[in-house]
Amino acid sequence: MTRALGRVLILAGSDSSGGAGIQADIKTVTALGGYAATAITAVTVQNTLGVQAVHALPPALVTAQARAVLEDVGADAIKTGMLGGTDMVEAVAGILGDWPGMATVIDPVMIAKGGAALLDPEAVEAVRSLLIPKAWLLTPNAPEAGALTGLKVESLDDQRRAGEALLRLGARAVLMKGGHLAGERVIDLLMTANGESAFESVRIETRHTHGTGCTLASACATGLAQGLTLTEAVARAWAYVQEAILQAPGFGAGHGPLNHAWPLKGRL
């Protein structure tokens, strides 16, 4: 029964506004029928207007949280989000190394929607060398892919080149997100050594996109935890995020949150 739910352990930061981070992750996993457990890496003070403060938790405490979950409740997939610094990246890599074979979704969170830095520049190399080789699925946006590869990512061809570079760094699969690129259409590329699949839609003109990256990665992790194939997991996650944007509640004066609970409408 527990395994059928799809258990997802999330290692990420807390968002006090509830739109991104751990809060978005838990909502997403739950809405898609999974079971969410967490190891919180940082506490942030933020709302739709931006991040005002960040307090990183000790890496040893994060490791202890994760081990407490894995040794009792267990997990079918692990999803990482905001890690902050090199010490935290190393701690998370250690956790993943102790549970080899675990379906792992790495969201290389670097910058908040409002522009605040969420990963120290010196930690990028640690993500590149320690986490990417452990990723079943890596989910970078264009700026993150550029930082990890040193390549410019301004077009579909650039997305493809950066994705290929990230596969060479050891990721099993890369979902190159195109939301940061200009154009009337948004194209995300799911890339593996065996080829690619494109997920394309008309750009939704809205300011309510807070937490889209966290939400997409957690939705993918939930699908993998529930036994979906990679393509099935990404396709369901992509459609879930699209509808969550369309049904956004309109909260806040800045980058507003999504409606993570939309699949539950009418069920209660």
Please state the pTM of the whole predicted model. Answer: 0.95
- Would you place residue 116 in the very low, low, confident or very high pLDDT band (cuts 50, 70, 90)? confident
The stretch 51-76 carries a mean pLDDT of 97
Tell me what pLDDT residue 266 has: 63
The CATH number of 7-256, from 3.40.190.10, 3.40.1190.20, 3.40.50.300, 3.50.50.60, is 3.40.1190.20
The stretch 238-250 carries a mean pLDDT of 97
In the block, tokens 């009418």 appear at 266
Helix extents (H) in 127-250 = 142-149, 156-168, 212-225, 230-246
21 has a pLDDT exceeding 60: yes
Tell me what pLDDT residue 4 has: 63
Tell me what pLDDT residue 114 has: 67
Q: The sheet that has 195-202: what strands, in order across it?
A: 50-56, 35-47, 7-15, 77-80, 103-106, 137-138, 173-176, 185-192, 195-202
Q: Rounded to 10 degrees, what is the CA torsion of 49, 264, 28, 153? A: -70
Residues carrying an active site annotation = 177, 209, 211-214
- Residue pLDDT, tens place only, 139-184: 999 999 999 999 999 999 999 999 999 999 999 999 999 988 988 9
Residue 101's SS3 state is coil
- Residue pLDDT, tens place only, 82-114: 999 999 999 999 999 999 999 999 999 888 766
26 has a pLDDT exceeding 50: yes
Tell me what pLDDT residue 119 has: 85
Tell me what pLDDT residue 1 has: 39
One-letter amino acid at 94 equals G
Q: What is the mean pLDDT of the chain?
A: 94
2 has a pLDDT exceeding 80: no
The domain segmentation of the chain, as residue ranges, is 7-256
